[in-house]
């Protein structure tokens, strides 16, 4: 089955049935904002939400992840030897994820799932998770997905796509995983033709609203060293306070630190989100720091996202236009403005 | 699924102090499981992450050569938390090794060529690996003339002193050992900065590759000498250092431009570096 | 306060042309509603970008430490008190600064305005004559400025700059009979168990981005305690104990120096009300030492001075 219609009053029952067979995650409003939580009985999912504060990358690459564990007990013959940490890869469904965030996972795959090295936790979680996206009828003013190779109804990162047509949802399968999911859902109705038309119209209207705000291709075509040495970085970097807000909220930022944490006679080797914005990020043991200055760190982030990633993987920019960094940067550094500076025709020094 | 973050358990067989200031120690490690040693097939130029449970991991160039069986050796500079802990370890202690990581010196390109190896201070570790590898009877015929210029600030800071002296006696390798200065009246070798000695000994650049490893100041002044001797950027090879954590190109911190020093390097030619941002 | 934009531009132009300063630090208009970006004007051409309105909440004194040039800087009441602390702590020299004092009627709280829109997306928010008009594609609301002041501004008792070279406008009347500590009193009245739960909840969403620390002018240590490794004082993950330790310790490090500028709360991406830590410190310092940070130019913060008559009833 490739598409079904679910009336809104039937949705809670549908979700309940999915929950009986899978771990289901959906956007829930908690405190001040929405976040993806594993749904328990009684949780209220809000599919009228704009987007979660933190990107759902935490569902695959959590802030803190135990990598290995070890004993340090003096009488333990295995003391000091690293052991695997157990993980739960039981199947999950992420319900209502925005297409931009789902596309971001495809961009992150280039980093975690390479021909030679595979990150075990990222890849296994990706393999056992079904992404059911929710198209954006009403993009925000800070969204710019259409400028970076995705869109409000882009299926390319999803297994299935929901479109909110007012009284119900049209659910379309995108991948085989999605088709299997739809086949397992016995309570869907056939899609009325008017609904199909409504969905197409919503997509067109959302994409038109977003327009094109800059051209990543122009940045790809520029010489890397010319961009690196451009004079506009000095102006871009002044207000930055080098916090981790942009990197931690961003669905395509994946950098991490590795720390050993010991409690009495046992310990864990964990990985935790790290940020190229932090001065310690590139500090050598000798004391030398190639990115000692704030300008170098600010430049690194934008060059990585908009230029180095394009050069390395030929798969567009490492940005999906979710707009979180634009909304929450405490000093309003706007990646769209930086991208415009980077793609402008002349980067000659002032 | 294979976990690339899980180190092989190893035992410290010996740990000896290399330098007079006690800042450099060479640690000899033996794999606890022989199948791990089989998996750890490395090529001179590569590095590994030395892991100490409870402290952390550090990326260190492999100083032993794959022709040396039954153990692996690393020379560790004491600069921080993990390296200090390793310096205080004893024979019999357990730690971990992850690797081999990174790319290696381009041995396929070096077949049939002459080699000029220039090293300074404690950057000589992977150069030792390379020299032992090349001098092995099975490998020596593959290479032409081998010239080595290796210097330190004073005699006590040279690494692998006994081996240096032994190589100096051989006729299949030209060793130019030097120090910046010394008050030792019995010093047998050269006195002078590495760039100056390199210029003086003027090794042939025809059909030659240069491998250079050392502190930034040494590299800065030696590169013009090599260029003047006729080495083009694509035949000058260097190995870079960077702060690393995962060592496998995933944690994102060791990049120079679009290259990860841990995965696309640490060995780069000067020509490759000239196309990268000057941020290292 | 609306007129400040012209006054700032005029002063900046004059200072740069006369070569009294090398740069001017102020704000320029943001790219999203209710935000402005700290801006460094290096020459006369850039002066026209300088802008001022009720969204200039970030503390510009944050950009002063380690600068070696001569700087013109716009400073509200709180910013100017932080400049005093910078001078006392040798982070900048007085002769480097030309301070454009900005008497302030309070900055508006973007977070609360956006929350009141309940998910609606604004395209603009303009302030005029005491009201804020927020407009979106399908809505328009008018809000009373006084209702939507940043919390620290609503209880501010130092709205006028305490140090300046020229004032951008007439001094504003200081608020009288302000109770600065109802929230602190509420926590002080709690039992230890209740307090534990209160602080557990306060920091449970922290993602250790350090926006609070980096936005704070007082946090200028070359290596922050969270980044030390020998010894390592706290873990770097979001473990709740480590996270609480970070927030508590930072509050203690700014005790007696914090001017309640609110930049920490303003910059937190997950909306943690971390002034709940620093307000308690401020209250204790006021009661024990009679001191308010940065108000009197030559009065050092009490925790970096020793007087024989220092209160010590807390030493048991």
A55: nearest Cα among A342, A343, A257, A252:
A252
pLDDT per residue, tens digit, chain A (350 aa), is 799 999 999 999 999 999 999 999 999 999 999 999 999 988 989 999 999 999 999 999 999 999 999 999 999 999 999 999 999 999 999 999 999 999 999 999 999 999 999 999 999 999 999 999 999 999 999 999 999 999 999 999 999 999 999 999 999 999 999 999 999 888 789 999 999 999 999 999 999 999 999 999 999 999 999 999 999 999 999 999 999 999 999 999 999 999 999 999 999 999 999 999 999 999 999 899 999 999 999 999 999 999 999 999 999 999 999 999 999 999 999 999 999 999 996 655 55
Q: Which residue of B has its CA nearest to C232?
A: B81
Cα atoms in the 13 Å half-sphere on the side-chain side of C21: 28
Give A158 to chain B, closest Cα distance, Å. 23
CB-CB neighbors (< 8 A) of C230 in chain B: 80-81, 84
Does C256 reside within a domain?
Answer: yes
Does residue C307 carry a pLDDT above 90?
no
Residue identified by tokens 């013109």 is C72
Fold adopted by B8-101: Elongation Factor Tu (Ef-tu); domain 3 (2.40.30)
CB-CB neighbors (< 8 A) of A259 in chain B: 56
Rounded to an integer, what distance in angstroms lies between the CA atom of residue A71 and that of residue A80?
6
Class level of CATH domain B107-239: alpha beta
Q: What are the domain boundaries of chain B?
A: 8-101, 107-239
Token duo for residue B120: 């300074």
Q: Does A266 touch chain B (CB under 8 A)?
A: no
Confidence at residue A187, expressed as pLDDT on a 0 to 100 scale: 78
Q: Quick one: how far is CA B159 from the chain centroid?
A: 11
Q: Does A72 touch chain B (CB under 8 A)?
A: yes
Confidence bin at C217 (pLDDT 50/70/90): very high
Q: Which DSSP letter does residue C149 get? A: B
Does residue B2 carry a pLDDT above 90?
no
Does residue C292 carry a pLDDT above 90?
yes
CB-CB neighbors (< 8 A) of A308 in chain B: 255, 257-258
Confidence at residue A117, expressed as pLDDT on a 0 to 100 scale: 95
Please state whether beta strands B24-31 and C97-101 pair in parallel, antiparallel, or not at all (unpaired): unpaired
Q: Does C214 touch chain A (CB under 8 A)?
A: yes
Confidence bin at B216 (pLDDT 50/70/90): confident
Rounded to an integer, what distance in angstroms lies between the CA atom of residue B156 and that of residue B137?
30
Contact B277 A311 (CB under 8 A): no
Q: Which of A75, A255, A259 to mutate to test the interface with B (most CBs of B within 10 A)?
A: A255
Confidence at residue A230, expressed as pLDDT on a 0 to 100 scale: 95
Q: What is the pLDDT of residues B253-275, one digit of tens each?
A: 999 999 999 999 999 999 999 99
C224: CB partners within 8 A, 6+ apart:
C210, C213
B114-120: strand order across its sheet: B190-191, B174-179, B146-152, B114-120, B208-213, B236-239, B267-269
CB-CB neighbors (< 8 A) of A244 in chain C: 207-211
CB-CB neighbors (< 8 A) of B54 in chain A: 70, 72, 80, 260, 262, 267
Mean pLDDT of chain B: 95
CB-CB neighbors (< 8 A) of B84 in chain C: 230
In degrees, to the nearest 5, what angle opens at C-alpha A185 toward C-alphas A181 and A186?
150
Query: Is residue C250 helix, strand or coil?
Result: helix
Q: Does C112 touch chain A (CB under 8 A)?
A: no
The interaxial angle of helices C240-253 and C192-203, nearest 10 deg, is 100
pTM tops 0.90, yes or no: yes
User: In three state form, how does the secondary structure of chain A look?
Assistant: CCEEEEEHHHHHHHHHHHHHHCEEEEEEEECCEEEEEECCCCCCCCCCCCCCCCCHHHHCCCCEEEEEEEECCCCCCCCCCCEECCCCCCCEEEEEECHHHHHHHHHHHHHHECCCCECHHHHHHHHCEEEEEECCCCCCCCCCHHHHCCCCCCCCCCCEEEEECCCEEEEEECCHHHHHHHHHCCCCECCCHHHHHHHHHHHHHHHHHHCCCCCHHHHHHCCHHHHHCCCCHHHHHCCCCCCCHHHHHCCCCCCEEEEEEEECCEEEEEEEECCCCCHHHHCCCCCCCCCCCHHHHHHHHHHHHHHHHHHHHCCCCCCCCCCHHHHHCCCCCCHHHHHHHHHCCCCCCC
Counted residue by residue, chain C has a size of: 316
Q: Which residue of A has its CA nearest to B82?
A: A285
Q: Does A326 touch chain C (CB under 8 A)?
A: yes
DSSP string, C56-102: --S-GGGG-TT--S-EEEEE-HHHHHHHHHHHHTTSS-GGGEEEEE-
CA torsion through residues A66, A72, A73, A75, sign: positive
Rounded to an integer, what distance in angstroms lies between the CA atom of residue C1 and that of residue C150?
16
Does residue C2 carry a pLDDT above 70?
no
Domain that holds residue C298: 179-311
Confidence at residue A346, expressed as pLDDT on a 0 to 100 scale: 62
Rounded to an integer, what distance in angstroms lies between the CA atom of residue C27 and that of residue C35?
10
Which of A32, A140, A238 faces C121 most closely, judged by CB atoms? A140
Q: Does B90 touch chain A (CB under 8 A)?
A: no
Give A303 to chain B, closest Cα distance, Å. 8
Q: Which residue of A has its CA nearest to C204?
A: A31
Q: Does A237 touch chain C (CB under 8 A)?
A: no
Q: Does A271 touch chain B (CB under 8 A)?
A: yes
Contact A326 C39 (CB under 8 A): no
Q: Is the ipTM of this complex over 0.90?
A: yes
Q: What is the pLDDT of residues C3-22, one digit of tens each?
A: 799 999 999 999 999 999 99
A71: CB partners within 8 A, 6+ apart:
A78, A79, A80, A265, A266, A267
Q: What is the pLDDT of residues B88-132, one digit of tens each?
A: 999 999 999 999 999 999 999 999 999 999 999 889 999 999 999
Contact A243 C235 (CB under 8 A): no
Q: Does B238 touch chain A (CB under 8 A)?
A: no
Cα atoms in the 13 Å half-sphere on the side-chain side of B135: 24
The interaxial angle of helices A120-127 and A99-112, nearest 10 deg, is 140
CB pairs under 8 A between B and C: 6
Poorest-pLDDT segment among B40-44, B184-188, C257-261: B184-188
Q: How distant, in Å, are the alpha carbons of B7, B11, B15, B50, B94 from that of A74?
A: 20, 16, 22, 21, 12
For residue A5, report the phi and psi dihedrals to the nearest 5 degrees. -115, 135
Rounded to an integer, what distance in angstroms lies between the CA atom of residue C121 and that of residue A141?
7
Rounded to an integer, what distance in angstroms lies between the CA atom of residue A194 and that of residue A174?
21
Give C206 to chain B, closest Cα distance, Å. 22
Contact A248 C38 (CB under 8 A): no
Q: Which of C223, C228, C229 to mutate to test the interface with B (most CBs of B within 10 A)?
A: C229
Mean pLDDT, residues C243-258 taken together: 96
Mean pLDDT, residues C223-233 taken together: 94
**Helical (H) or strand (E) element with C128:** strand C122-128
Q: What are the domain boundaries of chain A?
A: 3-211, 217-343
Mean pLDDT, residues C121-146 taken together: 94
Does residue C314 carry a pLDDT above 80?
no
Q: What is the pLDDT of residues B168-193, one digit of tens each?
A: 999 999 999 999 999 999 999 999 99
Task: Give the residue numbers in C contacting B (CB under 8 Å), as ranges.
Answer: 229-230, 232
Q: Does A245 touch chain B (CB under 8 A)?
A: no
Other CB atoms closer than 10 Å to residue A29's CB: what's the count? 14
Does C60 reside within a domain?
Answer: no
Q: Which of B23, B24, B257 to mutate to test the interface with A (most CBs of A within 10 A)?
A: B257
Query: Is residue C124 helix, strand or coil?
Result: strand
Confidence at residue A345, expressed as pLDDT on a 0 to 100 scale: 67
Mean pLDDT of chain C: 95
């Amino acid at each position: 089955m490739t598409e079904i219609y679910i009336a809104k009053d039937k949705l809670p029952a549908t979700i309940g049935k999915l929950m009986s067979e899978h771990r289901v995650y959906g956007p829930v409003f908690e405190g001040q904002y929405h976040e993806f939580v594993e749904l328990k009985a009684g949780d209220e999912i809000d599919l009228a939400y704009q987007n979660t504060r933190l990107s759902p990358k935490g569902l695959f690459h959590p802030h803190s992840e135990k990598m290995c564990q070890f004993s340090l007990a003096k009488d333990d013959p295995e003391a000091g030897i690293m052991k695997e940490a157990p993980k739960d890869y039981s199947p999950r469904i992420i319900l209502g994820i925005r297409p931009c965030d789902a596309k971001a996972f495809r961009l992150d795959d280039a980093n975690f799932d390479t021909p030679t090295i595979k990150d075990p936790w990222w890849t296994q979680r990706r393999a056992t998770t079904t992404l059911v996206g929710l198209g954006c009828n009403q993009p925000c003013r800070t969204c710019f997905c259409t400028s970076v190779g995705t869109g409000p109804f882009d299926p390319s990162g999803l297994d299935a796509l929901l479109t909110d047509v007012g009284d119900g949802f049209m659910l379309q399968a995108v991948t085989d995983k999605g088709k299997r999911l739809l086949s397992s859902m016995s309570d869907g109705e056939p899609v009325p033709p008017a609904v199909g038309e409504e969905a197409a119209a919503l997509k067109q209207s959302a994409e038109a609203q977003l327009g094109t705000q800059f051209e990543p291709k122009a940045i790809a075509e520029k010489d890397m060293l010319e961009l690196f040495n451009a004079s506009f970085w000095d102006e871009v970097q002044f207000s930055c306070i080098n916090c981790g807000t942009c990197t931690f909220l961003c669905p395509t930022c994946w950098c991490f630190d590795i720390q050993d944490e010991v409690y009495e006679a046992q310990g864990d080797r964990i990985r935790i989100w790290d940020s190229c914005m932090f001065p310690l990020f590139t500090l050598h043991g000798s004391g030398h720091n190639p990115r000692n200055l704030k300008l170098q760190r600010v430049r690194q982030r934008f060059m990585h996202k908009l230029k180095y990633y394009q050069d390395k993987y030929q798969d567009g920019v490492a940005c999906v236009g979710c707009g979180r960094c634009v909304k929450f940067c405490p000093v309003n550094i706007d990646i769209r403005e930086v991208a415009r500076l980077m793609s402008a025709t002349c980067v000659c020094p002032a | 699924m294979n976990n690339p973050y899980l180190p092989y358990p190893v035992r410290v067989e010996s740990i000896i102090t290399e330098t007079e200031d006690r800042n450099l120690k060479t640690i000899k490690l033996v794999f606890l499981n022989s199948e791990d040693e089989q998996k750890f097939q490395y090529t001179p130029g590569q590095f590994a992450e030395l892991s100490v449970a409870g402290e952390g991991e550090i990326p260190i160039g492999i100083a032993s050569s794959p022709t040396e069986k039954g153990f692996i050796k690393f020379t560790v500079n004491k600069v921080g938390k993990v390296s200090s802990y390793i310096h205080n370890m004893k024979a019999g202690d357990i730690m971990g090794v992850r690797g081999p990581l990174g790319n290696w010196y381009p041995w396929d390109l070096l077949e049939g060529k002459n080699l000029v190896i220039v090293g300074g201070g404690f950057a000589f570790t992977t150069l030792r690996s390379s020299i032992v590898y090349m001098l092995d009877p099975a490998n020596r015929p593959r290479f032409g003339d081998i010239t080595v210029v290796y210097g330190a600030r004073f005699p006590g800071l040279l690494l692998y002193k006994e081996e240096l002296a032994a190589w100096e006696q051989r006729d299949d390798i030209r060793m130019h050992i030097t120090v910046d200065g010394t008050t030792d009246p019995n010093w047998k070798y050269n006195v002078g900065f590495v760039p100056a000695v390199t210029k003086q000994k003027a090794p042939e650049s025809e059909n030659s590759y240069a491998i250079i490893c050392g502190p930034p100041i040494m590299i800065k002044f030696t590169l013009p000498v090599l260029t003047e001797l006729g080495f083009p950027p694509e035949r000058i090879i260097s190995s870079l250092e960077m702060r690393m954590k995962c060592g496998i190109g995933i944690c994102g911190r060791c990049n120079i431009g679009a290259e990860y020093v841990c995965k696309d390097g640490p060995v780069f030619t000067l020509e490759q570096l000239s196309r990268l941002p000057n941020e290292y | 306060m609306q007129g400040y934009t012209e006054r700032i531009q005029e002063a900046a132009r004059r200072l740069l042309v006369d070569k009294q300063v090398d740069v001017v630090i102020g704000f320029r208009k943001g790219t999203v509603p209710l935000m402005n970006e700290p801006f460094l004007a290096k020459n006369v051409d850039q002066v026209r970008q300088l802008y001022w309105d009720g969204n200039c909440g970030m503390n510009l004194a944050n950009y002063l430490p380690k600068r070696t040039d001569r700087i013109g800087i716009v400073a509200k009441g709180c910013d100017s008190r932080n400049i005093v602390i910078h001078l006392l702590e040798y982070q900048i020299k007085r002769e480097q600064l030309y301070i454009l004092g900005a008497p302030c009627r309070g900055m508006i709280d973007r977070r609360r305005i956006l929350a009141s829109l309940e998910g609606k997306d604004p395209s603009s928010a303009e302030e005029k004559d005491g009201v804020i008009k927020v407009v979106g594609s399908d809505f328009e609301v008018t809000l009373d400025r006084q209702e939507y002041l940043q919390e620290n501004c609503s209880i501010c008792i130092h709205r006028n700059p305490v140090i300046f070279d020229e004032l951008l406008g007439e001094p504003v009347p200081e608020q009288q009979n302000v109770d600065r500590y109802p929230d602190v009193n509420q926590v002080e009245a709690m039992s230890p168990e209740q307090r534990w739960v209160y602080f557990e909840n306060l920091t449970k969403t922290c993602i250790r981005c350090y926006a609070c620390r980096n936005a704070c002018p007082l946090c200028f240590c070359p290596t922050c305690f969270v980044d030390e490794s020998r010894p390592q004082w706290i873990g770097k993950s979001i473990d709740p104990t480590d996270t609480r330790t970070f927030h508590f310790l930072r509050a203690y490090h700014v005790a007696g120096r914090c001017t309640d500028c609110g930049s920490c709360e303003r910059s937190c991406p997950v909306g943690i009300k971390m002034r709940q830590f620093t307000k308690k410190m401020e209250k204790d310092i006021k009661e024990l030492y009679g001191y308010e940070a940065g108000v009197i130019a030559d009065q050092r913060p009490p925790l970096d001075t020793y007087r024989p008559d220092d209160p010590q009833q807390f030493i048991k």
